[in-house]
């Protein structure tokens, strides 16, 4: 099972578990989005910065980014949630890149088994930033591992960071839109944002599968 499918499966399990827990414990009254946003507003201008720092640390430590992304949609809504997630994810990916480039070669090589690092290095040499764009658009490889792996290739840091920021958007936007209305679902309300977000999440999650079928059919 490819990483895109795994990510979607984890996402669905996460949502179902949260929904069941909320219903079972009778916590619907606490799921007020305005209250949660009011809490983050207590940080003033530091609220988004605190969130972005959490995302950077989570990415650098190779923690699952999905829960943090969902929190961004809930706390900041679809627009600013997307902006903050993209900033946090890009800065976290950039930090991992720099750590690998200057400090952690042996560790990354151990993670990229079976010659996959050499294969990635060759593709970067041939295609440059385009391979970064490809791996962000079609998540066939784990995001966190790739952040470190790219640091061991000869790609320019500026090209890597810019390509990462731009091409993670198609994956970030659906999850943020979906999660921005998820609290309403827990309270029994289905919004158009939820339906649109869910449809986009399904489409994005199917991209690796569709790509694999197309590639197999072209052989």
Does 29 have pLDDT greater than 60? Answer: no
Q: What is the mean pLDDT of residues 115-137?
A: 79
User: pLDDT for 84-107, tens place per residue?
Assistant: 999 999 999 999 999 888 876 666
The structure tokens 């009011």 sit at 38
The Cβ-side half-sphere exposure at 43, using a 13 Å CA radius, reads 12
Q: What is the mean pLDDT of residues 10-15?
A: 54
Alpha-helical regions (H) of 26-115: 33-41, 46-60, 66-102, 105-111
pLDDT of residue 93: 93
Give residues with Cβ within 8 angstroms of 110, minimum separation 6: none
Q: Confidence class of residue 30 from pLDDT cuts 50, 70 and 90?
A: very low
User: pLDDT for 156-207, tens place per residue?
Assistant: 899 999 999 999 998 899 889 888 877 776 666 777 777 887 888 777 777 7
Does 33 have pLDDT greater than 80? Answer: no
Q: Alpha-carbon distance 165 to 172, whole Å?
A: 10
User: pLDDT for 48-81, tens place per residue?
Assistant: 898 899 899 888 888 878 888 888 888 888 899 9
Does 27 have pLDDT greater than 50? Answer: no
SS3 sequence, 167-195? HCHHHHHHHHHHHHCHHHHHCCCCCHHHH
Report yes or no on whether pTM surpasses 0.75.
no
Q: Alpha-carbon distance 22 to 122, whole Å?
A: 49
């Amino acid at each position: 099972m490819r990483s895109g499918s795994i990510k979607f499966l984890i996402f669905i399990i996460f949502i179902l578990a949260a929904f069941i827990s909320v219903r079972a414990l009778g916590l619907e009254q606490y799921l007020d989005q305005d209250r949660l946003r009011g809490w983050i507003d207590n940080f003033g201008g530091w609220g988004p910065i605190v969130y972005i720092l959490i995302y950077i640390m989570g990415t650098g430590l190779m923690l699952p980014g999905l829960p943090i992304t969902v929190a961004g949609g809930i706390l900041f809504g679809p627009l600013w949630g997307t902006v903050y997630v993209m900033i946090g994810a890009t800065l976290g990916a950039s930090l991992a890149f720099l750590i690998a480039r200057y400090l952690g070669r042996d560790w990354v090589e151990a993670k990229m088994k079976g010659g996959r690092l050499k294969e990635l290095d060759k593709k970067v040499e041939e295609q440059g930033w385009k391979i970064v764009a490809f791996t962000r658009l079609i998540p066939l490889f784990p995001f966190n591992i790739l952040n470190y792996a790219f640091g061991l290739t000869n790609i320019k840091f500026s090209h890597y960071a810019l390509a990462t920021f731009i091409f993670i958007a198609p994956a970030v936007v659906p999850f943020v839109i979906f999660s921005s209305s998820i609290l309403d679902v827990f309270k029994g309300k289905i919004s158009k944002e939820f339906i649109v977000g869910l449809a986009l999440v399904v489409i994005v999650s199917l991209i690796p599968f569709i790509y694999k079928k197309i590639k197999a059919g072209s052989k």
